Amino acid sequence: MPQIQTSCPRCRQPVIADVTQLFDMNQDSTVKQKLLSGAFNLIQCPSCGYNGSLNSPIVYHDPEKKLLLTFFPPELGLPANEQEKLIGPLIKQVTDRLPAERRKAYLFTPKMMLTMQGLIETVLEADGISREMIQEQQRQINLLQQLMTTPEEKRLEIVKAEESLINEQFFLILNRLIDASLANGDETSAKQLAELQQSLFQISETGKRIQSQARETEQVVKLLQDASKEVLTREKLLDLITQSGSDAQLSTYVSLARNGMDYQFFQLLSQKIDTADQSEKQKLVELREKLLDMTHEMDEEINKRVASTRQLLDTILSSDDIEQATSQNLRSITSIFIEVLGSRIEEARQKGELDKLEKLQKVAGVIQQATTPPPELQFIQELVDAKDDQAVHDLLEKDIEKLTPEFIEMLNSILVQAQSSEDADQESKDRLSVIYRTALGMTMRKNLDQ
């Protein structure tokens, strides 16, 4: 992300800002969420504390939707020929990055958006999102931007006034934005957004409910893990489920142990109902109905996902460049996709369909390469798994040539993420702190010795 020097709109003092002008889905599938969130081209003035957006030309490109959109902020007050000088090179980058066979007619007629809101609505409408949904999402994005620039002690008042907008979709947008910031290496924004998320978990009703459900889910996971230390039988699973205290816990059991809830499981439940006394029988009947509804709903959802996954795989296989098409859809690669891909590969092998097998293996190769952690990350994991601090020191001393500035920066980034996350255990945080301090000390000594 390039940096430029600009002036603070409030105090006119010089400010260094990260600026993104080209949002190209052909190069990075996360840019759409970043654009829609509005969390880009933000400036923070160290002199007066101003937080806000920087007016800048924007080009958005989505080759799958055949969208090439441009927006030039009217506040800049530049004539058309000057606007073209700034927008033209961005469009040329889009075209140059595409192979000749993918350069379609839409590239030569970019749509000029008169407002940023118009650009966002065009992007969302291409995804099949209604105007009402767009308006609600836009209000949520505006609220998110407002909360980001509001001191923590003043957020509660805003949250109470806008409680209806802070729903599950709001937190989903926030999660996607954190992911997009991390994917783009914008660790500062990711940390600020994560801190906002933690704050909203504490002060918003939806946040409190999500936290409560998360705790119930953790309890179910622990119970299943403990039961699985021996053999998790249908009888044990039924005992656990009959002791659950909420629909959220029931839903978690269904999502984690659906395979165990087969015909025999429901036979056991029916037998339990037949032998129960009258007061207990009604509760068990209601439990059975809920489980039947939940498992049916889950099966339908899985079938839909499988069908969608098969369609995505067919689209990738029909592309002129299978590797590139796979890379562009990596964010859509799920465990279901891997299962469908594996079954397709096995089917092609059995039928001797060599051409199809070669295409499928290209897809698998891209996924394998993308999911293989870099050597630096593998080394960090070795350090985290070391038995004690001395073992950490010995590993670092042995591979001191790996302590490059890039490695130290990655290590620091992981440490910051761990310290800002409630999911990371304290032992891992402490170990990462030791690793970082030791590695930094060795690096400084190595530099002094040179």
Distance, in Å, from the CA atom of 212 to the CA atom of 248, rounded to the nearest integer, reads 9
CB 417 within 8 A of CB 190: yes
Residues whose CB is less than 8 angstroms from the CB of residue 315 and which lie 6 or more positions away in sequence, other chains included: 325
Sign of CA dihedral 127, 26, 80, 44: positive
Query: Looking at residue 356, what is its pLDDT?
Result: 92
CA-nearest of 58, 82, 62 to 70 is: 58
Residue 248 CB partners (closer than 8 Å, separation 6+)? 212, 213, 216, 217
| SS3 category, 21 | coil
Residue 103 near residue 95 (C-beta atoms within 8 A): yes
* Amino acid sitting at position 361: Q
Q: Would you state the pLDDT for residue 352?
A: 92
Given a contact cutoff of 8 angstroms between Cβ atoms, the answer to whether 200 and 171 are in contact is: yes
Q: Is 5 helix (H, G, I), strand (E, B) or coil?
A: strand
* R_g over Cα of the chain: 27
Q: How far lies 157's CA from each of 150, 153, 154, 203, 447, in Å?
A: 11, 9, 6, 10, 51
Task: Please give the structure tokens belonging to residue 22.
Answer: 């080209």
pLDDT score, position 449: 58
**Is the pTM for the entire model greater than 0.75?**
no
How buried is residue 214: exposed, middle or buried, by Cβ count under 10 Å (0-12/13-18/19+)? middle
Give the tokens for residue 327. 């890379």
Provide the token pair at 150: 């509001």
pLDDT by 10s per residue, the chain, length 450: 566 777 777 788 888 877 888 999 888 877 887 787 776 777 778 788 777 777 888 899 998 889 999 999 888 888 888 888 888 899 999 998 888 888 888 998 899 998 888 888 888 888 877 777 777 888 888 898 888 888 888 888 999 999 889 988 888 888 888 877 776 677 778 888 888 888 898 889 998 988 888 888 888 888 888 888 888 899 999 999 999 878 888 988 998 888 899 999 999 999 999 998 888 999 999 999 999 999 999 999 889 889 988 988 998 898 888 988 888 788 778 888 899 999 999 999 999 999 999 999 999 998 888 776 677 777 888 888 888 888 888 888 888 888 887 777 777 777 777 766 666 677 777 888 888 888 877 877 766 555
- Asked if 193 and 148 count as a contact pair (C-beta separation under 8 A), the reply is yes
User: For the purposes of burial, counting CB atoms within 10 Å of the CB of 434, is it exposed (0-12), middle (13-18) or buried (19 or more)?
Assistant: middle
CA distances from 373 to 367, 376, 412 (A): 12, 8, 17
What's residue 388's pLDDT?
83
pLDDT for the residue numbered 101: 81
Shortest CA distance to 257 belongs to which of 293, 297, 287, 221? 221
First to last CA, the chain: 32
**Which alpha helices (H) appear in 228-353, and where do they start and end?**
234-242, 247-257, 263-275, 278-317, 322-328, 335-351
In sequence order, the 6+-apart residues with CB closer than 8 A to the CB of 369 are none
Cα four-point dihedral sign 421, 423, 427, 428: negative
Q: For position 391, what pLDDT does the model report?
A: 85
